[in-house]
Amino acid sequence: MSAPLPKLSATELARYSRHILLDEIGIEGQQVLKAARVLVVGAGGLGSPAALYLAAAGIGTLGIADLDCVEEHNLQRQLLHDTPSIGKAKIASAAERIRTLNPHVKVLEHGDGITSDNATEVFANYDVIVDGTDNFTARYVNNDAAFQTRKPLVFGSVFKFEGQVAVFDPARGGPCYRCLFPEPPAAGSVPGCGEAGVVGALCGVIGSLQAMEAIKLILSIGESLVGRLLTYDSLRQQFQTLRLSRSPTCRLCGDNASTAVEESSGSQTIVETPSEGAENDYPLEISVLEANKLRVAKPEKTILLDVREPWETEICRVEGATFIPMRQIPENVGSLSDKAHVLVLCHHGSRSRTVTKFLRSHGLAAVSNISGGIAAWADQVDPTLARY
């Protein structure tokens, strides 16, 4: 026997009156929303509008999962947070904002984020999962845990001026994320917003659409995006809908798939073959700690090559670095010594990886990419560097 729906107070009736006026919602529908439990994974660009609109809609229990802290560059798009929040845990900032917006909502804070170790346990306590993450590893973790716990997953992504929304729900006949993208792309092959950029208002559009899909799922109204991918081009102001089918060969939800999810949950080990002529003494990837150790121990035999744009180096820079923007690398190959170990640095490691491979293919064997870029350098080597 299902539990009775929670009653609405006079204050709640007034607050949600515009919902109650809708035939598709009414008082009973608002009670259903109050009884619902929704988890928003990521309190960032997508999670901000999604969480705000879900809280405003009267979702009774709203979980927020994130393990990062608020940084100034977040504020261009992450509207859960404000300038006084800089330095605070996103989870704390988000919870405070939501409780201020709607004190009738119970906010649950998951400050450790969602990992392959805790995902299924956390997801089991919610009705709908809203994925507001911004990296492939997290998306596969969320997808696989949602499949295991039979929870609908409201997916969203943004890139520059374009966005996508879908609902992955194999338990109700739809495909999962792996049906669309069976494996993660090679590390560094797809830049994130930290490398490619994203317009802030786009996050508002996509995150709001995710909130709308979650509300429709909870109320069982309208036609959800199960089995469909909604794409949005903000420059052309154009939406398109693509049909998605469950893949019979999907290793997670396909006909012969195992229900066991790998512990890595989407991560993969990338083994790259060095370019011809590269020596084993010079790895393709190097950590910021290793890079800093090398340049301190052997300054005369090490070149720290920063390939970011000039405006980026005005925000922060590593003392002693050589600055050549990536677009100018081809004309400056001859200026780099083949007798020194060139350590290539960018913002997060994507552009520098491209430059590393280019230099190796043009005869410089002693070249290594600094994994994580100057963002990792600020985290692990020099916390005085400004983040962006």
Beta-bridge partner residues of 163: 158, 232
Per DSSP, which regions of the chain are E strands?
A: 37-41, 61-65, 106-110, 128-131, 153-159, 162-168, 228-233, 238-243, 285-286, 302-306, 322-323, 341-345, 367-370
Q: Which amino acid is at 201?
A: A
**Is residue 379 within 8 Å of 316, Cβ to Cβ?**
no
Catalytic residue among 193, 250, 253, 316: 193
CA distance 33 to 54: 9
Q: Beta-carbon neighbour count of residue 251 at 10 Å?
A: 15
The closest of 211, 242, 191 to 373, measured between CA atoms, is 191
CA distance 26 to 9: 14
CA distance 118 to 111: 12
**Is residue 384 within 8 Å of 355, Cβ to Cβ?**
no
**DSSP per-residue codes, 187-248:** TTSS--HHHH-B-HHHHHHHHHHHHHHHHHHHHT-S---BTEEEEEETTTTEEEEEE----T
CA distance 368 to 360: 9
Catalytic residue among 176, 179, 250, 346: 346
**Is residue 343 within 8 Å of 368, Cβ to Cβ?**
yes
CA distance 308 to 330: 15
Q: Beta-carbon neighbour count of residue 109 at 10 Å?
A: 16
- Reply yes or no on whether 346 is catalytic: yes
Give SS3 for 168. Answer: strand
**Is residue 174 within 8 Å of 228, Cβ to Cβ?**
no
- Reply yes or no on whether 176 is catalytic: no
Cite the active site residues: 193, 346
